[in-house]
A = this chain, B = another copy of it.
């Protein structure tokens, strides 16, 4: 199993776990766990493959990915109560999934189009999409709208992978570097509350001004 394949299965598995953890927070039943696990685990990659014109999508070609999601859903159903904070576990697993997925998305985008711009965009979008889908389906506030750095982590990992690949780095090195950078950025944001300066409305004007 190559490093890319390992990243691929890891990304699917940990995103599936975050979907199941979201199900646990909503107190769904076992099938609800499996459904959210599957949708979150394979959602980003499904979007990536559709955009790149690679349909049938990856898990239709290799149903093992679905089996992995189901296994993670069952595992979380029976072990989630063991964790001190399921939300903390969810966001850290989400960080791992984000790191794996941004490299996979960029790698597939680069292989399909040879355009660095496209690779960075598919890497960033598909890494963020699984978590967005999970939050929408579980009716939770989107991770996208929280102040800590999120999309930037995926973007920096996808960009580092793409640029170092373009400059001739071997695939395993570019993949590893991209995943580590993405995890470092997101992990730092989680551990230390890293943020970028947000947009601020003019003083004296409320940001939610209505028409």
Report chain B residues within 8 Å CB of A109.
Answer: 60
Indicate if A139 sits at the interface (CB-CB under 8 A).
yes
Overall SS of chain A's interface? helix
Rounded to whole Å, the gap between the CB of A69 and the closest CB of chain B is 9
Report chain B residues within 8 Å CB of A57.
Answer: 51, 53
Copies of the protein in its oligomer: 3
How far apart sit A114 and B19, CA to CA, in the bound complex (Å)? 28
Within 8 Å by CB of A87, from B60, B88, B195, B211, lies B211
How far apart sit A23 and B144, CA to CA, in the bound complex (Å)? 10
Indicate if A173 sits at the interface (CB-CB under 8 A).
no
The reply to whether A199 and B23 contact each other, CB–CB distance below 8 Å, is: yes
Report chain B residues within 8 Å CB of A198.
Answer: 27-29, 32
Report chain B residues within 8 Å CB of A112.
Answer: 56, 60
